[in-house]
Amino acid sequence: MNVKTAAEPPEAPPERREPFMTLFGRYLIEANSVMVTIWSLLLAFAIGAVLLIVSDEGVRGTWSYFFDRPSDALSASWEVVSSAYFALFEGAVLNFNTLDRFAAGTAGFGDVLRPLSETLTYATPLIFTGLAVGLAFRAGLFNIGAQGQLIMGMLGALVIGFGISAPAIVHLPAAVIAGGLAGAAFGAVPGVLKATTGAHEVISSIMLNNIAALFLVWAIGTGFLHSETRSELVTKPVDDTAALPHLLGFLGGSLRVNLALVLGFAAALFVWWLLSKSTFGYRIRAVGFNSHASATAGMNIGRTYATTMGTAGAFAGLAGASLALGINAGGVTTNTALEYGFDGITVALLGRAKPGGIVAAAVLFGALKAGALSAQPGVPVDISILLQAIIVLFIAAPAMVKAILRLRTPRGGLVTLEAKGW
C-alpha cells in the first residue's frame, strides 16, 4: 500500500548578515546619542582651535600672506593649537616633564599624580550636581536650583562639622548626612510648589538660588559661623574629625582628591539602581515620559515631583558637603561654591542624564578646569569655559550636529532631553 507524503518545503537560505565593519561604519555616520556626543566634543575642540588661531596676533599675521607662503600660516597655527591643547592635557592628566624628573629621581610619585588628582578634585562636586540635575531631568523637571541646594548643603555640613564634638566615625557621617538633608529640604521646595500651586520649578529655583547666595553672605558674617581668627568673610574650620580624608595623602600633601570622590561614585551607582531597579525610579521615568498617562494609571504626579526634587536636592547638598568638609575644610567663603551648581546642568546634558555618562562628563569638565588653571598664563583660562559652552550647544541641538556633518537619522528619530511644562 503506497502512502503519499507531502513534499517537504525547501530549506530557506541562511540569512545573510552584514559584515561588522559595515554595521560599525553605518553607526559612525548615524545621529544616535553616542555619536552626537562624540561629534559634539570633536566639533567643540575644532572650533576652539579656530578661536585660538584667531586670538593670537602673531598667527593672524602669517595668514595675511598665506598664498605666498602657506607653510608659515599652517605651521604657526598648528604650533599655537597643539601647544595649548597639550598644555591642557599636561595640567589635567600627566605632565611629561614631571614624569622625566620622576624617572631621574628628582620628583616623587605624588608629583606625577598631581594633575590627575586636581582633575578628580574638580570633578567630584560636578558628579553630585550632575546627578541632581540629571535625576530631575528623568522626571521631566529642570532642576536649575542645584547651586542654591549646594550652598545650603555646604552650610548644613559646616554647622555639624564644627558645632559638635564626636569621634570621626560618628562626626564625619553626621556632617555629610546633614549636608545632604539641608540640600534635600531646599530642593523639595520647588517640587512642592509645583505640586501644590503649579509654579514652574525653573522660576522658583532661580529665586531660591538668589536667596541661598544672599543667605550665605549673611550667615558667614554672623558670630556663630564667622572665623574667630580672621577678619575677612570666612567661616570657622571644621574639626579634624569631620574633615574628609585625602585618598592619596600618603604620597604627598599636594594631592587634594579626597573621600568625596568615592562617595560620588557610590551616589552614581545608587542613582543607577534607583532608576532601573526600584519602584520609585519607575515612577520617575514614567512621569518624565508621559505625566498624563502616569496620572491615568493612578500615580500621584505631585508627590513624584516633590520627592524627585527633594532627592535631587540631596545630591546637590552632598556636593556642598564635599566642598565644606574637603578642600575647603579650613574655612568657607562666599566664593567657595563657584559655579558648580550651574555647571552640573552642562554635565547632566553631556551625560544624557545617565549616571555613567554624568560621571564621565564630570571628569571631562574637571580635566578642562584643572588643565586651564595649570596652563596659565600660556593658555587663556576662558578656553575651558568656551569649550564647555560649545559642547553643550551641540549636545542640546543634535539636529544641528546632524545637519553640519550630514549624519543619517537614527531609527526612532533624534533623542533629546526635555523638561516638560514650559
Helical (H) or strand (E) element with 31: none
The Cα–Cα gap between 328 and 157 comes to: 12
Which of the residue ranges 63-77, 255-269, 291-305, 391-405 would you say has the lowest mean pLDDT? 391-405
Q: What is the mean pLDDT of the chain?
A: 88
Q: How confident is the model at residue 38 (pLDDT cuts 50, 70, 90)?
A: confident
Q: CA dihedral in degrees (292, 298, 300, 304; nearest 10)?
A: -70
d(CA 319, CA 279): 26
Query: What is the per-residue DSSP string for 324-365?
Result: IIIITTT---TTTTTTHHHHHHHHHHHTTT-HHHHHHHHHHH
| Spatial separation of the C-alpha atoms in residues 102 and 112, rounded to whole Å | 7
Q: Which of 67-71, 105-109, 409-413 has the lowest mean pLDDT?
A: 409-413
Percentage, residues of the chain above pLDDT 70:
92
**Nearest alpha carbon to residue 344 among 124, 108, 177:** 124
Span 222-271, pLDDT tens digits: 989 998 888 888 999 999 999 999 998 888 778 999 999 999 999 999 99
Cβ burial, residue 178 (10 Å; 0-12/13-18/19+): buried
Where residue 403 falls among pLDDT bands split at 50, 70, 90? confident
Domain ranges of the chain: 125-352
Q: Which range in 29-38, 207-216, 389-398 is most confidently predicted, on average pLDDT?
A: 207-216
pTM of the model: 0.88
At residue 167, the pLDDT reads 93
CA distance 413 to 418: 15
- Residue 117's nearest CA partner among 371, 317, 331 is 371
Of the chain, the percentage scoring pLDDT greater than 90 comes to 52
Q: Which position has the higher pLDDT, 384 or 85?
A: 85
Mean pLDDT confidence for 277-286:
93
pLDDT at 422: 46
Do 351 and 361 contact (CB within 8 A), yes or no?
A: yes
Beta bridge partners of 258: 246
Instruction: Please tell me the distance from the alpha carbon of residue 346 to that of residue 358, in angstroms, as a whole number.
Output: 10
pLDDT at 55: 85
Least confident span in 119-128, 339-348, 370-379, 411-420: 411-420
**Cα 289 to Cα 228: distance, rounded to the nearest angstrom:** 52
